[in-house]
Chains A and B, each alone.
Chain A
Amino acid sequence: MKQEEEINDKSRRDFLKTAALATIATAACGSLTCSCSSKKAAVSEKVKLLSPDGEIVEIDSAYLNYQEHMAIVSKLEARQGIAGKKFVMVVDLSRCKNARKCVAACQKWHYRPEETEWLTVKLMKDSDEAAPYWFPKQCFHCDNPPCVKVCPVNATFKRQDGLVLIDNDRCIGCKFCMAACPYSTRVFNWSDPHTPYDVTGIASNPETNIPARVGTVEKCDFCPDRAREGMLPPCVEACPNGVFYFGDENEDTVSNGDETLSFSQLIKDRAAYRFQEELGTKPRVYYLPPKDRQFPVERGYENLPEKLKARFKDVIESSKNEIN
């Protein structure tokens, strides 16, 4: 295309980056591709935009396209966090039946390949006598994060809104944070993550970590890009049983999409606890104990594909033996 020829490679890359910031301006445009070759006839007006590097650039509005997953803030803002917020998650263990909709939604939203899960559901059994229960686990976004302490390059950091995020453009892949995290939250891109074509050109941002980069660490980020737009994380939205409550500790509200509750009241009434409190990491995720469970634990096991069944087989079988 003629237009295209006029634009040299550099400005092309620039605009791909800049397009990240153009989301709002062009949401109305409705096109879902980020390809520059989309059919825009004439050069219309110029728009001034702030690039992720903090420079003001002027680009042709014809090149602005709506792109899902483009962070709407600069890297610097992404390091500071959303002022006045203190994100918190409450997980109601009595409602979880391992429906795995949260896992699927998370995988889809973040373009995760199969089995490299940011959100995992474990089948926990605290002691030989105790009954097993399903235990969904995201990143705990600890207030005293062992992972952040050990990062040699400040690639993973703690924000004022409580989130622990990763800048995958800075991460050197030493994996020290993975060794330091006692909850096995972090995953590593052991090979090229095969990001789908439509997101490969996006400038990565700590708020999205898209596209994934080979040789870097990543993990659950509580989807701050969605929070900025007033949306709940996909895992919360996808859960059919309202297991996850996401919200703001400062506002003292948490919501699972169906109901919005007072955070402090909820954790008080339901005797919430934080996993392994004794480690001193001060997680931002609270668990409501699996009391008065809505589903028998087998419900989350019976209909699983064999591959997934194998994960939980040992626990299920050991608990069966006890019943008999």
Chain B
Amino acid sequence: MELNKYQQEIFDKQRPVIETFGAKTWRWTIFFLFWILLGGYALYLQIAKGHKVTGMRDNVVWGLYIANFIFFIGISYAGAVISGILHILKVEWRKPIIRIAEMITVISTIIGPVFILLCVGRLDRLHHLFLYPRLQSPITWDVFAIGTYFAGSVIFLYLALIKDFAIYRDAKLNIPKWKQKMYKILAIGYRGTHGQKRHIRISTNLMAIMIIPLAIIVHSVLSWIFGMTLRPGWHSTIFGPYFVLAAIYSGTGVLIMAMWVYRKMYNLKSYITDKHFVYLGYIMMVLGAGYGYFTFSEYLTDWFASEKWNSEVIEKLFNPAKYGWWFLFANVAGIILPIFIVAFPKTRKPVWITIASFFMVIALWVKRYLIIVPTLESPLLPMQDTRMEYVKYTATWVEWALTLAGVATFFLFYTLLSKFVTIIPISEFAGKDQPVVTARDISEENEIVPA
């Protein structure tokens, strides 16, 4: 594969990253593995002793795990928005960050469903989902939707990688044989012929179009697990779009954080520019406003109509002695903070936008928890139970350990993958005289850091 001047420059910069593993990476890997092992032990306990080691009981049948499930599937929308929407709109500045986004998508789509499996009492019977599937059940919809979405995301990531694999294959990298071999296999004989280029282009376009409806379906179906039940706080018609929007929103936040980490870690300032943060900040602001609108609309209607059963949940969310502070945090950090940070030019800087993203992502996790638990703690019939753990949900260390293990797995996969492929796609710069970002940004003012 022939590389032009700019491609060569990007490649040379990233070459050491994929050629060596490094002591630092080892340390991180071991750190992540430690948490995963702890999670493994928690999982062993949960399987051996039953789900009584969790905080879940007959009233609150779902807890942290489901919140994590929604959260991880939510952040997987980073790829859907960047690769899908921006690809169709032919937004050129997306190119240096597409791989970061798509890697988030694929990895979190692997981890998300694991959390729903942790809720399942009989993991030994999972094959029943395929032996006796019932199409009426939103869980069956979920199995098919997430399965398709995952396949789509992997294909999408892979399509964008084929050209790069060919570059790694031909670059005579100083790497072990197995790695060389893998690049060769994964490049599937790509030589950059006219036909091959055309095939990749058409497939990528097709996948970009398909990934958007798929993403919408996945989170709608996921929200319907709740929306289809007769439960206050869940049985809401706006749950589909509300969840989809929240998902894209949190995905954008995670993408911004990942960009910041990589920019710092590998000194990629000339490729992941301040402009990227600002543009994604704008997207985040718009999504935040939309998400805020949905939130307001949802709770205003429930509160105003004040139906008895709904009011019980609303009371729990508004009461500072119950979930009031968390609800306030979820809305301040999840809606107001990002909007203001991006709105003011003074704070419209990468570091601030990243901080806002960080709090927003946490707030959205809290929001998912607040969707699940207070509703389940408000059954229609009075609980009249003397067993406190049945009345109020408190997550146990087992659930926290598995949650942390999920986060650690995310980081571990991300670390390993970034040692295997370059974070900034090289082939995307092909055929241009200059790196695409700067070419696009020439007309912009001096905020840009020149390449």
Chain A residues close to B by CB (< 8 Å): 115, 120, 122-124, 137, 146, 149-155, 170-176, 178-180, 182-184, 186-192, 213-217, 276, 279, 281, 307-308, 310-312, 315
Complex Cα gap A178–B143 (Å)? 19
* Interface presence of B241 (CB below 8 A): no
Is the pair A184, B59 in contact by a Cβ cutoff of 8 Å?
A: yes
Is the pair B137, A152 in contact by a Cβ cutoff of 8 Å?
A: yes
Is the pair A137, B381 in contact by a Cβ cutoff of 8 Å?
A: yes
* Interface presence of B376 (CB below 8 A): yes
* Interface presence of B379 (CB below 8 A): yes
Query: Closest CB-CB distance, B30 to chain A, in whole Å?
Result: 34
Known A-B contacts A153-B134, A310-B386, A311-B384; the reply to A215 vs B50 at CB < 8 A is: yes
Which of A146, A151, A217 lies in contact with B229, CB distance below 8 A? Answer: A146
Complex Cα gap A123–B381 (Å)? 10
Complex Cα gap A122–B143 (Å)? 38
Q: Mark B364-401, 1 if CB is under 8 A from A, else 0.
A: 00000000000010011111111100000000000000
Looking at chain A's contact residues, the main secondary structure is: loop
* Interface presence of B121 (CB below 8 A): yes
A-B contact pairs, 10 of them (CB 8 A): A152-B134, A172-B121, A174-B139, A175-B62, A176-B137, A179-B62, A182-B229, A184-B380, A188-B121, A191-B50
Chain B residues close to A by CB (< 8 Å): 49-52, 56-59, 61-62, 119-122, 125-126, 128-129, 131-134, 136-140, 143, 225-226, 228-231, 376, 379-387
- List, in ascending order, chain B residues with CB within 8 A of A123's CB: 382, 384
Which of B58, B59, B132, B387 lies in contact with A153, CB distance below 8 A? Answer: B132
Is the pair B134, A151 in contact by a Cβ cutoff of 8 Å?
A: yes
- List, in ascending order, chain B residues with CB within 8 A of A149's CB: 136-137, 228
Which of A155, A187, A213 lies in contact with B58, CB distance below 8 A? Answer: A187
> For residue B226, which residue of chain A has the nearest CB?
A179
Known A-B contacts A174-B119, A174-B120, A192-B50; the reply to A183 vs B139 at CB < 8 A is: no
- List, in ascending order, chain A residues with CB within 8 A of B137's CB: 149-152, 176
Complex Cα gap A25–B24 (Å)? 74
Is the pair B125, A170 in contact by a Cβ cutoff of 8 Å?
A: yes
Known A-B contacts A184-B379, A191-B52, A276-B380; the reply to A176 vs B139 at CB < 8 A is: yes
Looking at chain B's contact residues, the main secondary structure is: loop
Complex Cα gap A279–B309 (Å)? 12
Complex Cα gap A149–B50 (Å)? 26
Known A-B contacts A172-B122, A215-B50, A311-B386; the reply to A150 vs B128 at CB < 8 A is: no
- List, in ascending order, chain A residues with CB within 8 A of B59's CB: 184
Is the pair A190, B57 in contact by a Cβ cutoff of 8 Å?
A: yes
Is the pair B139, A152 in contact by a Cβ cutoff of 8 Å?
A: yes
Known A-B contacts A191-B51, A311-B384, A311-B385; the reply to A175 vs B119 at CB < 8 A is: yes
Which of B61, B126, B131 lies in contact with A188, CB distance below 8 A? Answer: B61
Is the pair B133, A152 in contact by a Cβ cutoff of 8 Å?
A: yes
Complex Cα gap A297–B120 (Å)? 41
Query: Closest CB-CB distance, B122 to chain A, in whole Å?
Result: 4
Is the pair A150, B230 in contact by a Cβ cutoff of 8 Å?
A: no
Known A-B contacts A152-B133, A152-B137, A183-B381; the reply to A216 vs B49 at CB < 8 A is: no
- List, in ascending order, chain B residues with CB within 8 A of A189's CB: 50, 121
- List, in ascending order, chain A residues with CB within 8 A of B51's CB: 173, 188, 190-191, 215
Q: Which of A149, A151, A179 has the largest count of B CB atoms less than 10 A from its CB?
A: A179
Which of A150, A173, A184 lies in contact with B121, CB distance below 8 A? Answer: A173
Query: Closest CB-CB distance, B47 to chain A, in whole Å?
Result: 9
- List, in ascending order, chain A residues with CB within 8 A of B225's CB: 176
Complex Cα gap A312–B382 (Å)? 10
Known A-B contacts A115-B387, A123-B384, A172-B125; the reply to A154 vs B120 at CB < 8 A is: no
> For residue A167, which residue of chain B has the nearest CB?
B132
